[in-house]
């Protein structure tokens, strides 16, 4: 068992009150002599106040929970990195929960986290709207979820304008047969991205054809399967993928079907993962600042925790279209 404040007190010949006060820089000045004596004992025996006992009285767990749909997802792992970076500076630690896209698990995790008296919860989930009532009671921030029922603390990403720009770019380069890989399981941003695709086509007078769409999980494998299905059935010159991971899957599908990117097929993604610029050819995509999103979410959550009455601002993150080698001009 670890050494206790009582023992430190005994060793240095003072009361526990004194030890506690000195350690917390509280109360009146103690004689330099006793301070030294206490500090020496503390140091010597490597005394650290017990976390649980301390929390019994203070109720500051200095812990937040973070729930993500998939830790191995390249976008989310970058978000986690941002969250961790901020909270680490603030002496908070993160209980990481991997929900595997399951709303039930998310619900369980929220419950568990609340039972542990976490100071707050960061939730990244397509189901977050349904879960907001469960979240009540603890401060929380929703990540990767534009709209929610609150007026503040919303982190928005310009999904729409990013994709719109990408589609416009394709059209400007002579493409009209443009497909899209979507995901209809409830990710708000996927809906936004589709809307942008739809609207941009429309604005350019290109008729919308639902057979140019394929749906699948937002993973490499999901993109591969969706792309394969789509490319086998329709002839298109460009494909807008729901995210970079799906684009990576598309590369493979194209390869297997003997289509060369970008010559036979232009491809654009969304996210601008680190890996995307290393693909062959480098992926044209839309950048969103994953690390920053996590970092900011963490920052907002801490504000909610520490200053519950202060209004948490909303924040909109820019997206940037990045042209690389996977798209080509097909006008003669």
Among 4, 102, 161, 173, binds DNA (CB under 7 A): 4
Alpha helices in 136-261 (DSSP H): 159-172, 188-203, 220-233, 244-256
Q: Does 18 bind DNA (CB under 7 A)?
A: yes
CB neighbourhood size of 322 (10 A): 18
Q: Hey, which residues between 221 and 280 contact a copy of itself (CB under 8 A)?
A: 221, 224, 248-249, 251-252, 255, 274-275, 277-280
**3-state DSSP call for residue 329?**
coil
Give min distance, CB of 78 to a copy of itself, in A: 6
Q: Which stretch binds DNA (CB under 7 A): 18-26, 78-86, 205-213, 276-284?
A: 18-26
Residue in 277, 233, 279 with CA at minimum distance from that of residue 257: 233
Q: Which stretch binds DNA (CB under 7 A): 53-61, 186-194, 255-263, 308-316?
A: 53-61
Among 17, 88, 263, 314, binds DNA (CB under 7 A): 17
Q: Does 6 bind DNA (CB under 7 A)?
A: yes
Between 195 and 292, CB nearer to a copy of itself: 292
Residue 233 tokens, joined: 């059935």
**Cβ 182 vs Cβ 198: under 8 Å:** no
Distance (Å, rounded) from C-alpha 128 to C-alpha 135? 9
Contacted by 93, from a copy of itself, DNA, none: CB < 5 to 8 Å by type? a copy of itself
265-295 core/surface letters (b: 16 or more CB in 10 A; e: else)? bbbbbbbbbeebeebebebbbbbbbbebbbb
Contacted by 224, from a copy of itself, DNA, none: CB < 5 to 8 Å by type? a copy of itself
Between 42 and 286, CB nearer to DNA: 42
Residues 6+ apart with CB under 8 A from 266: 170, 173, 175, 237, 238, 239, 284, 326, 327, 328, 330
Among 50, 70, 229, 264, binds DNA (CB under 7 A): 50
Among 3, 10, 39, 71, binds a copy of itself (CB under 8 A): 71
Between 52 and 151, CB nearer to a copy of itself: 52
Q: Does 133 bind a copy of itself (CB under 8 A)?
A: no
DSSP 300-315: HHHHHHH-TTSPPPPE
Contacted by 34, from a copy of itself, DNA, none: CB < 5 to 8 Å by type? DNA
Residue in 145, 225, 148, 227 with CA at minimum distance from that of residue 186: 145
Contacted by 80, from a copy of itself, DNA, none: CB < 5 to 8 Å by type? a copy of itself
Among 40, 43, 45, 58, binds DNA (CB under 7 A): 58
**Cβ 86 vs Cβ 40: under 8 Å:** no
Place of tokens 């004596």: 37
**Cβ 27 vs Cβ 56: under 8 Å:** no
Alpha carbon of 292 to those of 72, 84, 106, 184, 297: distances in Å?
18, 11, 24, 26, 8
Between 65 and 179, CB nearer to a copy of itself: 65
Between 7 and 70, CB nearer to DNA: 7
Q: Which residues pair with 317 in a beta bridge?
A: 157
Site for DNA, rule CB under 7 A: 1-2, 4-6, 13-21, 23-24, 26-31, 33-34, 47-50, 53-54, 56-58
Site for a copy of itself, rule CB under 8 A: 48, 50-53, 55-56, 59, 61, 63, 71-72, 74, 77-78, 80-81, 84-85, 88, 91, 93-98, 112-117, 220-221, 224, 248-249, 251-252, 255, 274-275, 277-282
């Amino acid at each position: 068992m670890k050494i206790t404040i009582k023992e430190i007190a005994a060793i240095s010949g003072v009361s526990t009150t004194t030890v506690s006060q000195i350690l917390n820089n509280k109360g009146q000045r103690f004689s330099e002599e006793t301070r030294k004596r206490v500090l020496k004992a503390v140091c010597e025996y490597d005394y650290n106040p017990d976390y649980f006992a301390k929390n019994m009285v203070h109720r500051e767990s200095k812990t937040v929970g973070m729930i993500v749909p998939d830790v191995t997802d390249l976008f989310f792992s970058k978000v986690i990195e941002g969250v961790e970076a901020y909270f680490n500076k603030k002496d908070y630690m993160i209980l990481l929960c991997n929900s595997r896209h399951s709303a039930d698990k998310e619900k369980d995790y929220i419950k568990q986290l609340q039972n542990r008296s976490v100071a707050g919860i960061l939730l990244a989930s397509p189901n977050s709207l349904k879960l907001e009532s469960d979240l009540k009671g603890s401060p929380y921030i929703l990540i990767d979820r534009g709209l929610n029922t609150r007026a503040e603390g919303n982190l928005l990403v310009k999904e729409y304008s990013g994709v719109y720009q990408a589609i416009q770019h394709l059209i400007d380069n002579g493409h009209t047969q443009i497909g899209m890989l979507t995901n209809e399981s409830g990710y708000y941003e996927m809906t936004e991205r589709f809307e942008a695709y739809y609207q941009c086509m429309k604005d350019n007078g290109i008729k919308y054809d639902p057979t140019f769409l394929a749906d699948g999980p937002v993973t490499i494998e999901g993109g591969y399967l969706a792309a394969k299905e789509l490319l086998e059935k329709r002839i298109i010159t460009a494909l807008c993928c729901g995210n970079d991971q799906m684009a990576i899957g598309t590369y493979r599908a194209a390869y297997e079907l003997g289509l060369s990117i970008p010559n036979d097929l232009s491809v654009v993604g969304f996210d601008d993962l680190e890996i995307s610029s290393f693909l062959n050819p480098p992926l044209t995509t839309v950048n969103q600042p994953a690390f920053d999103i996590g970092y900011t979410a963490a920052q907002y959550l801490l504000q909610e925790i520490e200053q519950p009455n202060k209004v948490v601002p909303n924040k909109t993150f820019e997206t940037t279209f990045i042209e690389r080698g996977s798209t080509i001009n097909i006008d003669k």
